[in-house]
Structure 1
Amino acid sequence: MLRLKTFILLAATSLAAQGKNPIFAAADPHAAVIDGTPWIFPTHTEKGKNFFAFKFTPQKTWEKVGPLLDLKDVSWLKNERYRGLGPWAPCIAIKGGKYYFYYSVGPQSEGRPSRIGVAVGDSPAGPFKDSGKALLTGGNGFEAIDPMVFEDPASKKFYFYAGGSAGAKLRVFEMADDMVSFRKEIEVKTPENFTEGAFMHYEGKFYHLTYSHGGWQDASYSVHHATSESPTGPWKYRGVILKSDATHKGPGHHSIIQYPDKKSYQIIYHRWDNREGDGPYSGSRVVAIDRLFHTTSGDIKTVIMTD
């Protein structure tokens, strides 16, 4: 009980307690704590400008940074076949003082498979320079979307997770040393109720794979949880940890960080606010931050969405 009380007190200084939800309008937020500062890399673009980040300031505000990457400079997208495709769902990884920015381009359609690219920079604020080739291409029932890169604290290897939606298939790769190519693909079984948006973190002797399930425009969108003793499965399905309530709908495509210390967990996700019924919804999704608690048995407690 003392440990739980201490944990709650530490969590009271969390990002979720710093202000009000939602924090800004965007979707697909990938969060990372970089040199002690939280950053969020969401699907957020402006006309003619691709990808922006949001940095948490000492004044407890979210500073918009960017643009990070100009798709006009991505050589493999200059083919007529890929013009008009949009960017979304990025993530960031850090190795050897370099920053690696992974991003989806789609949507997938007949003759135009979705792709995932990777760009490299010296700062989380960019600018990022594309590697010159697509890292992963969709097809044959697989949609190349929603990249996530995880550094295994045990082996120090980097693993790449992607996929979902069309076919709802998860694929996992071990990254090569250059972080812009794969060493090998690792065959995994897609976990129960997987749709898209995989995220991996390690806590309490478990590898926690969390991911979105359902339709992104309606109340079925939710976050589910599975665990393993390795970063590549096999997965033990644990259930739903985040779902719609009376006024917040379709929460999902999340990420999980520890902030401000190494004991307090936050889940950063998008949702539709002030919606009624089951959808489909339209308009802007918003990003919110709430507390996340693990149990000693490996479960994650149901997340309570707040304003």
Structure 2
Amino acid sequence: MTRVPAIRALFAALLISSTAVAADAPAPLSFDGADPDIEAAGGRYYIYPTNSGGTSSLHVWTSADRDHWQKGAELIRLDQIGWIGDDGAPRHALWAPDMVVANGRHYLYFSVGPQNPTPSRIGVASCAGFEGPCTDSGKPLVTGGNGFEAIDPAVFVDPASKTPYLYAGGSAGAKLRVWILKPDMVTIDREVPVETPPHFTEGAFMHERGGTYYLSYSSGSYRHDSYQVHYATAPSPTGPWAYRGKIVESDARFKGPGHHAFLHDTADGRWYIAYHRWEGQTGPGPYKGSRSVAVQPIEYRADGTIIPIGMR
């Protein structure tokens, strides 16, 4: 009988301990956010999302296994961008970040709004590493206007030529534009004329596999079940594009998958896609609330085309 209080005390201590561990545990497979870029280095994974809870700053999320994610360091804030108020708009927002490693350094590209009534802009910051901190370059890289929205930057360094390309644009104008960056990665060299591929809306991303270049992008309205990921292939980073179809689209459980990034994980040799989606929604939309980020493996057929995925 005298041992019962001791056992109860031990059980209570274990319960408190397990509760504390659970409180500090990483987030599950999906977490609130949108427009993710995904990177890997040194046995860790990094996701750079638009923060659904606010757009005044950008953060990194980190993981050791691609399944459990923790919110990490703040990378950059609106008040750290000196040119942010040059357009005279009363409010601004940051979204759609893209982290790139080139020349042994790290660069963070991002969208700056509003898109109306002033043109949206694309900025770039130099970063100390995958987890920042990041320092703005001091000027916008691209400014929209004349029907073009400067949004959703994605930088691809061609493994064959080492040339850095910037892909951007979409939404209301639904136009894709591509530029070559100078070696400093924060200055435009020149624009390269490209065709806008079929069903393009926004969120372009480029990756290369086996000498084939894959241009993937979002199509449809991001707040509706029409949002989905399509892709085209080409023999070069700038086309000509051969349209290949859809990669992922809405299903009974998840709606509006899009604005994604691909990762080739050298740890297991597989390819993965990070994307956002609406969870717990029904009907065609428009949806409200926060979107969630998810990561899934991608498979290729023998002819190099991508096998469409089912969301899980």
- Say which of 250, 256, 273 aligns to 1:250: 256
Letter in 1 for 2:288: S
Q: Residues 73-222 of structure 1: matches in 2 within 5 Å?
A: 73-79=80-86, 81-110=88-117, 112-222=118-228
| Contact 2:257/2:278 (8 A) holds in 1 | yes
Tell me, yes or no, if structure 1 residue 284 matches structure 2 residue 290. yes
Tell me, yes or no, if structure 1 residue 26 matches structure 2 residue 33. yes
Letter in 2 for 1:160: L
Q: Distance in 1 between matches of 2:271 and 2:282?
A: 29
CA displacement at 1:262 relative to structure 2: 5.6
Q: What TM-score comes out, normalization by structure 2 length? A: 0.87
Q: What TM-score comes out, normalization by structure 1 length? A: 0.89
* Aligned residue pair count: 287
CA displacement at 1:131 relative to structure 2: 0.5
Judged with a 3 Å threshold, the aligned counterparts in structure 2 of structure 1 residues 245 and 21 are, in CA distance, closer, same or farther, namely farther
| Contact 1:120/1:128 (8 A) holds in 2 | yes
CA displacement at 1:85 relative to structure 2: 1.5
Structure 2 partner of 1:38: 45
Tell me, yes or no, if structure 1 residue 56 matches structure 2 residue 83. no
Judged with a 3 Å threshold, the aligned counterparts in structure 2 of structure 1 residues 221 and 59 are, in CA distance, closer, same or farther, namely closer
Which 10-residue stretch deviates more, 58-67 or 262-271?
58-67
**Greater RCO (CA < 8 Å, at least 6 residues apart):** 1
**Matched position secondary structure for 2:88:** helix
Structure 2 partner of 1:4: none
Structure 2 partner of 1:272: 278
**Matched position secondary structure for 1:51:** strand
Letter in 2 for 1:197: G
Judged with a 3 Å threshold, the aligned counterparts in structure 2 of structure 1 residues 80 and 160 are, in CA distance, closer, same or farther, namely closer
Q: Residues 217-232 of structure 1: matches in 2 within 5 Å?
A: 217-232=223-238
Q: Distance in 1 between matches of 2:216 and 2:74?
A: 29
Q: Which runs of 5+ in 1 are unaligned?
A: 1-18
| Contact 1:198/1:212 (8 A) holds in 2 | yes
Share of identical aligned residues, percent?
Answer: 46
Q: CA RMSD in A?
A: 1.9
